[in-house]
Amino acid sequence: MRTLQKFGLLFTLTVLSGVPASAQSIHAGSASGSYTNDFCPQVQATLKTQYFEHTCVTSQGTGDNVEKVLSNPVDVGLGQLDIVAAQALEHPDKLTIVNPKLGLECLYAVTTDQSVTSLTRLAARMPVALPPQKSGSTATFEYLQSLDAGLAKLRKVTYHQSALEAVQAVIKGEAALAFFVQFPNTENTVFETINDAGLKFIPVINREILRREVVGLSVYEPQEVVVTPAGLLGKLTGKEPTKIDTTCTPMVLFTGSPNQLPEGSTEREDQDEVIKLLGKVQRPDNKTWKDTFANAIAIGKDKVESLIEKYSH
């Protein structure tokens, strides 16, 4: 399987259109999320090395970020590759997507219902909580619904301000299952809340999702992901943290294509430079993030086949 983690600049899609005269922004995520607090500052610092004055702004997530960049092509967005690539194909010739290998975001479902073992054959009446409607998590869930008639028939889907609030809805009994896409950071409040409440993690993996490709490259990767911290007691006793097998997608950066700007113009030169700089953005390197990046391990082909059989029935 060829994955996007092996590539830097992925592909460019361009179109001619006017560029609004406004301040340049880097569209991140929620005020408390990793996009805003950990990755956007890295992007901003890299752009500042060449005196670009982009500022980090909050958003509802990947879907919202794509809308913002489509409206103002000189802006920059952060997002899940699966969603950004799908939007790029839906709006051809408008976006440049860059993958500087910032890490993988993984697909999670959590529930209080111990009888649920996969996202197949769920009752249509099952209440499901999702992050905001314009978030990457919701867009990914809608893609899963397009692959599974059972998920498509769910009648009680509610949207919340964040993945944390979606998880809390399950804890409060307002929903039976929550779905979200996030970095495998077990020290994150979302994971702490899930583990403290004893919620059950559900693997999100099937043949159809792993077959999805854009320009011949897989946008999803099967990974073995740590979902509970080892903790001091675990380290002393040698107890292994809990892991699940699920699907992940690269986090990417994107902006408008430089072809939207007049050839030979200063604005187009600047946009070309922005794209080059996005490819140089570094991932956070503190201990928490090093541990987070180590929490996702690629699954071998033989095991993938057995997992697909297990969770597709």
- Indicate left, alpha or beta for 41 from its phi (over 0: left) and psi (-120 to 50: alpha): alpha
Distances (CA, A) of 305 to 14, 20, 219, 247, 299: 38, 49, 18, 13, 10
Looking at the domain covering 104-245+296-311, what would its CATH class be?
Answer: alpha beta
DSSP-based three-state secondary structure for 80? strand
Contact predicate 204/247, CB 8 Å: yes
DSSP-based three-state secondary structure for 171? helix
| Residues facing 297 on adjacent strands | 224
Among 230, 249, 235, which residue's Cα sits nearest to residue 181? Answer: 249
Looking at the domain covering 4-102+250-289, what would its CATH class be?
Answer: alpha beta
DSSP-based three-state secondary structure for 127? coil
Domains 4-102+250-289 and 104-245+296-311 share a fold: yes
**Using CA atoms, how far apart are residues 128 and 204, in angstroms rounded to an integer?**
15
Strand ranges, E, within 25-121:
25-27, 55-57, 76-80, 95-98, 104-111
| Phi, psi angle pair for 302, to nearest 5° | -65, -45
What would the two tokens of residue 184 be?
A: 């495998």
Please state the pTM of the whole predicted model.
0.85
Exposed e or buried b per residue across 187-212, where buried means at least 16 C-beta atoms within 10 angstroms of its C-beta:
ebebbebbbeeebbbbbbbbeebbeb
Straight-line distance from the first to the last Cα atom of the chain, in angstroms, rounded to the nearest whole number: 24
In eight-state DSSP terms, residue 264 is T
Among 29, 15, 146, which residue's Cα sits nearest to residue 88? Answer: 15
- In order along its 313 residues, the chain shows pLDDT tens digits of 444 434 344 444 433 333 444 589 999 998 988 999 999 999 999 999 999 999 999 999 999 999 999 999 999 999 999 999 989 888 888 999 999 999 999 999 999 999 998 898 899 999 999 999 999 999 999 999 998 888 999 999 999 999 999 999 999 999 999 999 999 999 889 999 999 999 999 989 888 888 888 767 779 999 999 999 876 444 544 578 899 999 999 999 999 999 888 999 999 999 999 999 999 999 999 999 999 999 999 987 767 767 666 665 5
The residue extents of the domains of the chain are 4-102+250-289, 104-245+296-311
